[in-house]
Amino acid sequence: MAAPLGTLRECREALAAGATSSSALVEQSLARAEACAHLRAFVRLRADAARAEARESDRRRARGEVRSPLDGIPIAVKDILVRAGEETTCASKILEGFVSPYTSTVMERLEAAGAISIGATNMDEFAMGSSTEHSVYGPSRNPWDLARTPGGSSGGSAAAVAAGIVPAAIGTDTGGSIRQPASFCGVVGLKPTYGRVSRYGLVAFASSLDQIGCFARSAEDVAVVQDVIAGHDPRDSTSIPEPAPRCSNALDGDVAGLVIGLPREYYEPAGIEPGVLAAVREATAALERAGAKLREVSLPHSEHAVATYYLIATAEASSNLARYDGVRYGHRAQGAHSLSEMYRKTRSEGFGPEVKRRIVLGTYVLSAGYYDAYYRKAQQVRTLIRRDFEAAFRGCDLIATPTMPETAFRIGERTEDPLRMYLSDVYTVSANLAGLPGVSLPCGFASGLPVGLQLLASPLDEARLLRAADAYQRLAAHHLARPPERG
């Protein structure tokens, strides 16, 4: 069985030392993907293209041209970012066969940096879900326990990194879809500030919340990828027109004097598994021993975050997903006698149950008569949640919370109870509502399953966030733990 790949740093150093080649890394990555096919982390491999790109990278390196620290490194990208001439489906039947005429900015930047995507990773359909079970290709599995979900919606990317198929992968986070699977799979996942990474070429779910980010096994590796994908892009009108400072340069291991806020509403023992709480408390204590100061802060509107999130996210989704009508691309139902019947049949055949549920809820909250009571009300509470964070950050530099109140749940356990699935997003959705950067770091285990520590920062402060994350990983090596090999 193909051995797992090392961390991004190990791969980079082996390439730089001439101890391996990009072609060898890509072969190992493809073989590992094959050996881990039971995880269903990938929905499509681009083996031939990846091999050709690896040969190019090796030729460049032989000439002394290295484009970036990612040059020649195999990575994986969630099946939601388009690349010209290749299929993108968002794990939905409605996009089957869709070949994009253009390339997303993030894919362009990765390619320009020399990174090599070995394939598209599995996800909840249109990124709607917390388990990667809502995929037309079937559920992904958690490498730590195959009966459990890797989380979602970017579950395939998280599982691929955890299993050592690739050292880094791209995901998207609308309400926790990077941080939650990172927590469940024991890897690092960064959701950057809203607007920090261009969404051009990202299939939209909830446009005011969606953000692209990455997974890797260490904060240091995440910083390398973030430095490649971040920065202003005129093709995304919500892209922040500020230069993105290099996060990699900020990792000095120093947390002395850093003030870390612990929101009292996030540490209510009633809502958290005891093993998760204990691991998170130990992680913040380790940061304190290294010189950080812990301070209790308050986010008084936290209890309303999940409701606010689901109203805004479904409203935006119902509007964004109106474009799937069977006219221009993707699936079209056969045998319809009129245009409106074709729309109904196409959408009913093409969307899965969770997507339909959210479209109907979103249509409802935007409809005349309910708009003020639901959608506008949620937008107002969103303002209050933002203000809570602004006030909290006046008294601290970062906020530390559990990423999830629990460890990975079993496949099938929650599919009949969507509300319960939504409620577990309680600690992640606020960062999307407020547009903040957040990272989930492995901070130990509860009953043998990984636990995630979430750090949140003020907008655009990814450098400080990753400096603290990297400093923690110099104190505790939980991120280096590997899931058991099968068989």
Partner 1 sequence: MVALARLALDEDELLRMARELDAVLGYVASLSRVDTRDVPPTAHVVPLATPLRDDVPSAPLDPDLALASAPEREGSSFVVPKVIEAEEEG
Considering only residues 389 through 408, tell me which ones interact with partner 1, judged by CB under 8 A.
Answer: none
Within residues 370-389, the interface with partner 1 by CB under 8 A covers 373-374, 376-384, 386
Distance separating alpha carbons of residues 418 and 396, to the nearest angstrom: 35
Residue 201 binds partner 1 (CB under 8 A): no
Within residues 254-313, the interface with partner 1 by CB under 8 A covers 301, 303-304, 306-308, 310-311
Using DSSP's 3-state secondary structure scheme, residue 378 falls into helix
Distance separating alpha carbons of residues 297 and 312, to the nearest angstrom: 26
| Count of residues in contact with partner 1, rule CB under 8 A | 73
Is residue 22 flagged as an active site residue? Answer: no
CB of residue 237 to partner 1, shortest distance in Å: 5
Residue 205 binds partner 1 (CB under 8 A): no
- Which of 58, 173 has the CB closer to partner 1? 173
> Residue 345 forms beta bridges with which residues?
none
CB of residue 18 to partner 1, shortest distance in Å: 41
* Nearest CA among 61, 69, 91 for reference residue 78: 91
Q: Among residues 44, 60, 281, 357, which is the contact residue for partner 1, using CB under 8 A?
A: 357
Phi then psi for residue 75, to 5 deg, are -135, 180
Q: Which residues of 99-129 are buried (b: 16+ CB within 10 A; e: fewer)?
A: ebeebbbbbbbbbebbbbbbbbbbbbbbbbb
Distance separating alpha carbons of residues 309 and 301, to the nearest angstrom: 12
Within residues 412-441, the interface with partner 1 by CB under 8 A covers 418-419, 422-423, 433-435
Is residue 177 flagged as an active site residue? Answer: yes
Is residue 218 flagged as an active site residue? Answer: no
> Residue 44 forms beta bridges with which residues?
120
Q: Which of 78, 100, 424, 458 is catalytic?
A: 78
CB 146 within 8 A of CB 159: no
Residue 322 binds partner 1 (CB under 8 A): yes
State how far the alpha carbon of 331 is from the alpha carbons of 57, 358, 464, in Å.
37, 20, 45
- Which of 68, 208 has the CB closer to partner 1? 208
- What count of Cα atoms within 13 Å lies in the side-chain half-sphere of residue 297? 26
- From 155-163, 254-262, 343-351, 474-482, give the range in contact with partner 1 by CB under 8 A: 343-351
- Please report, in angstroms and rounded to a whole number, the separation of the first and last CA atoms in the chain: 10
- From 21-29, 138-146, 149-157, 238-246, give the range in contact with partner 1 by CB under 8 A: 238-246
- Which of 144, 324 has the CB closer to partner 1? 324
Enter the tokens of residue 65.
């041209």
Q: Among residues 24, 246, 250, 329, which is the contact residue for partner 1, using CB under 8 A?
A: 329
Distance separating alpha carbons of residues 130 and 183, to the nearest angstrom: 12
> What is the DSSP annotation of 404-467?
SSS-PPBTTSSTT-HHHHHHTTTTTHHHHHHT--EEEEEEEEETTEEEEEEEEESTT-HHHHHH
CB of residue 197 to partner 1, shortest distance in Å: 13
Within residues 52-111, the interface with partner 1 by CB under 8 A covers 97-99, 101-102
Binding mask 20-59 for partner 1 (x = CB under 8 A): ----------------------------------------
CB of residue 16 to partner 1, shortest distance in Å: 38
Q: Among residues 126, 215, 266, 343, which is the contact residue for partner 1, using CB under 8 A?
A: 343
Phi then psi for residue 259, to 5 deg, are -100, 120
Whether the bond into 338 is cis, omega within 30 of 0: no
Q: Among residues 340, 369, 394, 487, which is the contact residue for partner 1, using CB under 8 A?
A: 340
Q: Among residues 74, 330, 437, 438, which is the contact residue for partner 1, using CB under 8 A?
A: 330
Within residues 175-194, the interface with partner 1 by CB under 8 A covers 194
Q: Which of 23, 100, 130, 153 is catalytic?
A: 153
Residue 342 binds partner 1 (CB under 8 A): yes
> Catalytic amino acids?
78, 153, 177
